[in-house]
């Protein structure tokens, strides 16, 4: 399938406080973020014209910036309003939205003092990360080579661009081997997350999910946990070791891009796309489309 390059599209991007034509939203090659990963971002979705958990995403963008040592020049409310402005300018109702904040080109070197913080927001039509057919069949995940770093070596609680280098390496390797995605372990060898989504396992009326010591505590993750509790499922947040996966019946991923995506295979471990996965898929779809409180 042919995909338009992201620098050559019609439309508008919100850039440092104003809408600019899509192709004119540019930055210099000596931008600090390009060389030193001093950038944070969000992934959001609009369903039927309404952005799901908009304020939570905007607040996390600001919080991620503070963790990297910079203050966003816009408030959460201003970012929310800018997101709405972008959707309207591009005539989008169902869309993926990408706010990003980064250090500019005022400084070149590891030190950041004096660099300006820039913010941009783009939006485009982008269906679920995985096709409906693949999700209903159950995704196949490879056991990843690269691990999530220890919390004392990287700011794991920030949605920071630099942390996704590991994810890209693992995702590309998995695709080359015929898998849909990869499951990463953390620095201790515990189950962590997929390359861009949190993971859950089901057995005996309980949903088990890894602690967030080394992974991002996803907004979709928390929403699905609330849905599961309403269904009477017990949520168990704990350390999960790879060999435990043989004892689980069902498994699925959660994330803004992935939504709720069931799994059929992780390395040597097999799962069924059962009623729990299907129910939570439907509940989440109802929630984001306003059919569920």
Q: State the catalytic residues.
A: 159
Distance of CA 192 to the CA centre of its chain: 14
CB atoms within 10 A of CB 78: 14
User: Which of 45, 34, 14, 16 minimizes the C-alpha distance to 161?
Assistant: 34
Tokens of 217: 């505590």
Q: Label the pairing between strands 12-15 and 117-124.
A: antiparallel
Backbone angles phi, psi at 121, to 5 degrees: -140, 125
Tokens of 261: 């995506």
**3 state SS of 125:** coil
For residue 12, the surrounding DSSP H or E stretch is strand 12-15
Report DSSP state, residue 243: G
Tokens of 18: 């104003």
């Amino acid at each position: 399938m042919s995909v338009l390059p992201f620098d050559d599209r019609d439309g508008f991007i919100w850039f440092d406080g104003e809408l600019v034509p899509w192709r004119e939203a540019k930055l210099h090659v000596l931008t600090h973020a390009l060389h030193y990963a001093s950038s944070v971002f969000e992934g959001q979705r609009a369903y039927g014209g309404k952005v799901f958990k908009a304020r939570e995403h905007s607040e996390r963008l600001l919080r991620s910036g503070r963790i990297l040592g910079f203050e966003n020049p816009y408030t959460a409310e201003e970012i929310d309003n800018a997101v709405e402005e972008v959707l309207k300018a591009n005539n989008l109702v169902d869309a993926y939205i990408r706010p990003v904040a980064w250090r500019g080109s005022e400084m070149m070197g590891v030190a950041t003092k004096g660099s300006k913080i820039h913010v941009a927001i783009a939006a485009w039509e982008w269906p679920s990360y995985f096709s409906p057919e693949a999700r209903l069949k159950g995704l196949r995940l490879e056991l990843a080579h690269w691990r999530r770093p220890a919390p004392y070596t990287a700011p794991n609680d920030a949605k920071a661009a630099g942390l996704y280098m590991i994810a890209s390496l693992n995702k590309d390797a998995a695709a080359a081997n015929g898998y849909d995605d990869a499951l990463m372990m953390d620095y201790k060898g515990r189950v962590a997350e997929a390359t861009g989504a949190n993971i859950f396992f089901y057995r005996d009326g309980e949903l088990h999910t890894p602690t967030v010591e080394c992974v991002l505590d996803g907004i979709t993750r928390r929403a699905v946990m609330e849905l599961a509790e309403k269904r009477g499922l017990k949520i168990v947040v704990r350390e999960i070791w790879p060999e435990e996966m043989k004892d689980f019946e069902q498994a699925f991923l959660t994330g803004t891009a992935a939504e709720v995506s069931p799994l059929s295979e992780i390395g040597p471990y097999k799962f069924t796309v059962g009623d729990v996965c299907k129910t939570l898929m439907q509940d989440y779809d109802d929630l984001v489309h306003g059919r569920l409180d």
